[in-house]
Amino acid sequence: MLRLCHQNVPMTDADADACIEEVRLEHFHTWLEQAQIRPSEILHLKGFGGNVPSFFDKEAVTEASRSSLLVWDGDELKETSFTRLIPEYLKSGESRRVVAFRINDSIDSFKASWKEVAAAHPGRIAVVPVDLADLMSRLRRYEAAMKDIPPGRQKFVMLGRLAIEASGAKQVVALGGGSISQKEAELSCGEDTGECMTGSIHPEFKSVFHVVNSLSAGFSRPQNVLLSAFPMGPRFFFS
């Protein structure tokens, strides 16, 4: 149960932790229903964990603010990361909420990173702990398609894919993201409508991944648009 959190009231670390609601994966669909959030109102935010230029911050927040719920893959808050946009998203409307999917052996560090934001926006941040063993068991489903991803990074592809399947979202904003985000798009493409096979990029993905490549190459300002809405595969809820 989420305890009440109040901004400008002194809190212990335990109180601050309690400002972040934990939602079990098998209850996430019910949580969405109780919050009256439809998949069409959900947007996933992705990107590089550092050295992200601020050229597109305003456009990214504007695009994200069209949604009621923002989901990300549990990255910690850093000023040089795409995660710096999450507090700005929360400030853009009192009804907006955010949910992170995070591997469950690092929930404490996640809460420590986000506790100040959670205290400033009480009741609006949640985390879905994901069991690493369960996550890796899902990898067998994609074993052939994952051969080009280093073993130590495959769990992050699976985490992002799981979050998208669980939410049923069709919208993604990416500030870069590299091979992890690209592989997620490839897997989604292969499962969407059969129009493209795993390992290829659906035409609607190209504007996002051109920017990924440009940022990776160190260009001062990518020339293509940053934001793109693209199909992310079928709705898949856990019960």
HEC sequence for 139-182:
HHHHCHHHCCCCHHHHHHHHHHHHHHHHHCCCEEEEECCHHHHH
How far is Cα 108 from Cα 105, in angstroms, rounded to an integer?
Answer: 8
Domains of the chain with bracketed CATH = 13-217 (3.40.50)
Average pLDDT over residues 31-58: 90
Instruction: Indicate the pLDDT class of residue 172, thresholds 50, 70 and 90.
Output: confident
**Number of alpha carbons in the 13 Å side-chain half-sphere of residue 107:** 17
Mean pLDDT of 115-119: 95
Neighbour order of strands in the sheet with 97-103: 20-22, 125-130, 97-103, 69-72, 42-47, 171-175
| CB-based contact 5:117 (threshold 8 Å) | no
63 versus 34: which is more confidently predicted?
34
Single pTM value for the model: 0.78
237 vs 124, more confident? 124
pLDDT tens for each residue of 50-101: 888 887 888 889 889 999 999 999 999 999 999 999 999 999 999 999 999 9
pLDDT tens digits, 132-147: 998 888 888 888 889 9
pLDDT in tens, 15-24: 556 789 999 9
Please choose, from the candidates 224, 165, 231, 225, the residue with its C-alpha nearest in 3D space to the C-alpha of residue 193. Answer: 231
Percent of the chain with pLDDT over 70: 71
